Amino acid sequence: MTLRSKFILTATLLYAAMGFLAWQLLQYDKWLFIACEALILLSLVLTAKLYTAFVRPLNLMAAGIESIKDRDFSIKFLDTGQPEVDQLIAVYNQMMDELREERVVQTEKHFLLERLIEASPSGIILLDTHDRVAGVNPAAVTLLQASGKEVVGKPLTELPNHWGKSLSELPKDAQRVLRPNGIQTYRCRKIRFLDRGYHRYFILLEELTQELLEKERNAYEKLIRMMSHEINNSIGAVNSILQSFSYFSPQLNANTQPDFDEALQVCITRNQNLAGFMANFANVVRIPVPHKQETDLHALLHSIHRLMQPSFERNSVRWEWELTEQMPPVSLDVQQMEQVLINVVKNALEATEPHGWVKVKTNASPPQLLIQDNGKAITPEVQEKLFSPFFSTKANGQGIGLTMVREILMQHGFAFSLETGSDGVTTFQIQF
C-alpha cells in the first residue's frame, strides 16, 4: 500500500468515527450537533488542502525519478510558493543542472577521444575483459589488412596473417619490437585502463619502419664508404707492387719461375675479387633516384626469362607463366627493375630443387607481380631477417641482394613482400 493510500484510509476512518460521534450528539443537543458538523466540514477542507500540499512533493519526486531513469536531465520544476516544496525543487533543479553539464562534458570528451583514436597514425586495438577484440581504429585495420567486422569479437590468436601469434604472446603492460615479415618494423605495447570498475587493455601498434630504415641506411652507408675507401687504396698499391714483381720473373730459374708466376696471379686475382666484393656493397648506397617511364611489364619479364633460361635448364627447373591478358603499362625504372627481377628470380631458382618450378604470375586489378616457387620454405626465424643488410642464408652469400631489392622497390614506392604460405609455396609479391 502506498503512502498516499494510507493517508486517505486513515483520514476516512477518522472522519467516519467523528461523524458517528457527532450523530450521537443529535439526541442530546441539536445545536451542539450542528456546531460539530461545521467543525468536521472545516477540518475536512483543511485536510484536503493538507493532502494536496502533501501529495505535490510526492508527485514532483516521482516525476524527477522518472526523468533520471530516462536520463533526461532537461526537465526542471517551477517554484510552488510552499517553502518546503520550493527547497526540494531548488535542490532537484541544481542536481539536474550539474548532471546535464557533466553529461555534456563526458560526451564531448568521449567524442574527442573517438576522433583522436580514428585520426591516430598508430594502430589501436581495444580488448574486452576476456582479451577479445572489442574495436579497431582505421590505422589498425590497415595494418591487420582486415575490416573491423572480420576481427571484432575474435580472440587475439585468430587475427589474420602473422598478427595472431605475435600479439597473443605480447606481455601485459609491456612493449616489444616486432619485425614479422623482415620489412616493416612495429613497436607493440599492451596498456591497461579502467572501464566501469574493470581492468581492460588496448594494444598500440606504432610503425617504426621508415625511421629505423633511415638510421640503418645511414649507418651502413658510412661503414661501406669508409671500408671501400681504405680497401681500394690498399688494393691499388698492392696490385701495383705485384705487377712490378712480374718483371723479375724472367730472371728466375726454370724450376721456380712457374710457381712464382702462379703465386703472383693468385694474389692479383684475389685483390681484384676483393675490389669487386667491395664494389657490390658500394652499389647498395649508390642507387640513384629512379627514372620512371611507362613500361610493358610482360616484355620486361620475357627479357628476364631469356637471360635466365640457361640457368633454369642447367638446374632442371621449370619456368612457368600465368600472365593476365590485360596488363596495363607500369611506371618504373627499367634498369633498376631488371636488377630487382634478376635477384628475385635467381633466389627462387637457387631455393628450388631439380624438377621443381618457378612461376611468374601477373594480375591487372590491382597491378601486381608474383614470383612463386615450390622450393625450400622460409622459416619464421629467417623471415624476420630477410631484408636486413649483410644477412644471407647462403654459405658464400654477401647479404646485399635483397637489401638492394628493398632499396629499389621502396624508392619506387611499390609495396612488396616475401613469405612462404601454408601450402609451402614461397611468393615474392610486388604491388605496383
261-284: pLDDT as tens digits? 777 777 777 677 666 666 665 665
CA distance 83 to 89: 10
> What count of other Cβ atoms lies within 10 Å of the Cβ of residue 163?
26
The dihedral built from the CA positions of residue 83, 88, 91 and 97, taken in this order, carries a sign that is negative
Q: What is the pLDDT of residue 226?
A: 66
List pLDDT tens digits, range 295-324.
888 988 988 888 888 888 888 989 999 888
CA distance 130 to 150: 18
* H helix or E strand, kind and range, residue 123: strand 123-127
Q: What is the pLDDT of residue 213?
A: 61
Contact 372, 349 (CB under 8 A): no
Where b means 16+ CB within 10 Å and e means fewer, 100-131 reads: eeeeeeeeeeeeeeeeebeeeebbbbbbeeeb
Q: What is the pLDDT of residue 107?
A: 79
Contact 116, 108 (CB under 8 A): no
List pLDDT tens digits, range 48-79.
777 676 666 666 677 777 777 777 777 777 77
Q: What is the pLDDT of residue 183?
A: 64
Helix (H, G, I), strand (E, B) or coil at 371: strand
Q: What is the pLDDT of residue 182?
A: 59
- Write down the residue that cell numbers 612495429 correspond to: 186
Q: What is the pLDDT of residue 359?
A: 92
CA distance 419 to 431: 15
Record the cell numbers describing residue 112, joined without a space: 574527442
Helix (H, G, I), strand (E, B) or coil at 40: helix
The CATH classification number of 120-207 equals: 3.30.450.20
List pLDDT tens digits, range 147-186.
778 888 888 888 877 777 777 778 887 777 777 665 677 7
Q: What is the pLDDT of residue 396?
A: 60
CA distance 348 to 371: 8
> What count of other Cβ atoms lies within 10 Å of the Cβ of residue 373?
25
For helices 334-351 and 401-412, what crossing angle results, to 10°? Answer: 140
Which residue stretches of the chain have pLDDT < 70?
A: 1-4, 25-27, 51, 53-60, 80, 85, 180-183, 208-234, 270, 273-286, 384, 387-400
Architecture per CATH, domain 293-431, reads as 2-Layer Sandwich (3.30)
pTM for this entry: 0.51
CA distance 23 to 409: 111
